[in-house]
Amino acid sequence: MSTVLVEVRRGPVVECCHYGAIAVSDADGRLVASAGDPGLMTYLRSAAKPFQALPIVTSGAADTFSFTDAELAVCSASHNGEPAHQAVITGLLARLGLDDGALRCGIVPPIDRQVAAQVVAGLVLSTQLHCDCSGKHSGMLAVCVHRGWPLDSYKAPDHPHQREIRRVMGDFLGVPADSITTGTDGCGVPTFYASVAQIARAWANLATPPEPYRAAAGRILDAMAAEPYMVAGRKRLCTDLMNTTGPAVVVKTGAEGLFCLALRERGLGVAIKIEDGNGRGLPVITASLLTQLGVIDAETADRFLALQSPQTHNHTGTLVGELRPVFELN
């Protein structure tokens, strides 16, 4: 069953709790540590993006189109839609002979509040470049251009590129590709249903990638570590954590309270799932988890949390409470 991972305190009392599960796995699927039920099922959502980016490298598209680290990182990103993200994606699409009209991720408000406010005020035209998945879709288009596959239908589950990605996910999850239950992600491409333990195993395989993915996975993780701003953006969990830990820890959020980590020096993968989908406790959960595993020390954890502010303030900015991790890894 799920367990309480974090308490939300207001004044001297606990106002609410968030339940969930954590799995820490090696690449063979052996659980090294856990909290709650590692068999809890969820969709990977955006935590699948580094796997979805692997064919960019394995197909040869990354070399053909001279992908930079920033471009590989933004293809693995749930980015803020800031001008820097838009510029990298626009440049990549131009080299493919395309523009943002080729994207089929949809027009949604940017995650970044400043850019979103500019859109609402009519100061900036809303485009598909603002979508946090536009980098992923640009990478998919790159593979399709390189392989000569249809562009209009690249999101469809039966498109050869989506079938290719499903095979990749099966290899990393350690299950037959045809056995994976899929749904449709917010941006329209297939997403994959797995247990927290299986997801941790997939991320362990990213940390210590098997053949034939070793070079490609290493290149994707190196790019994400080198360009953490492209993976998310200002005031975002992924960017702040990777800036704090350095290249030994590569991370990616998924929707509905999922957070995944590749602990590269340990050869381990971590999956954290908040059962109710509210990710506000993820910073304190992650800091506690990495401290319990001995990956970071208390000083580093405090430095990271200072960026993510695990405290609760009222409308005037007065401190009124905090988020507190309460789990212990088994």
> Is residue 5 very low, low, confident or very high in pLDDT (cuts 50, 70, 90)?
very high
Mapping DSSP to helix (H, G, I), strand (E, B) and coil, where does residue 193 land?
strand
pLDDT tens readout for residues 12-32: 999 999 999 999 999 999 999
How crowded is the C-beta side of 233, counted as CA atoms within 13 Å? 19
Residue 213, C-beta contacts closer than 8 angstroms, at least 6 positions apart: 54, 58, 168, 171, 172, 205
pLDDT tens readout for residues 173-216: 999 999 999 999 999 999 999 999 999 999 999 999 999 999 99
Tokens of 5: 């991972």
Candidates 143, 144, 166; CA nearest to 60 is 143
Residues 31/23, Cβ–Cβ less than 8 Å: yes
pLDDT tens readout for residues 225-272: 999 999 999 999 999 999 999 999 999 999 999 999 999 999 999 999
Q: How far is the C-alpha of 69 from the C-alpha of 48, rounded, in Å?
A: 18
Mapping DSSP to helix (H, G, I), strand (E, B) and coil, where does residue 249 land?
strand
Q: How far is the C-alpha of 13 from the C-alpha of 128, rounded, in Å?
A: 44
Q: How far is the C-alpha of 29 from the C-alpha of 25, rounded, in Å?
A: 6
The pLDDT value recorded for residue 310 is: 80
Residues 311/319, Cβ–Cβ less than 8 Å: yes
Domain 3-325, architecture per CATH? 3-Layer(aba) Sandwich (3.40)
Q: 267: how many CB neighbours lie within 10 A of its CB? A: 14
pTM: 0.97
Question: To which residue do tokens 């994400």 refer?
Answer: 224
H or E segment at 213?
Answer: none
**Where along the chain do its domains lie?**
3-325
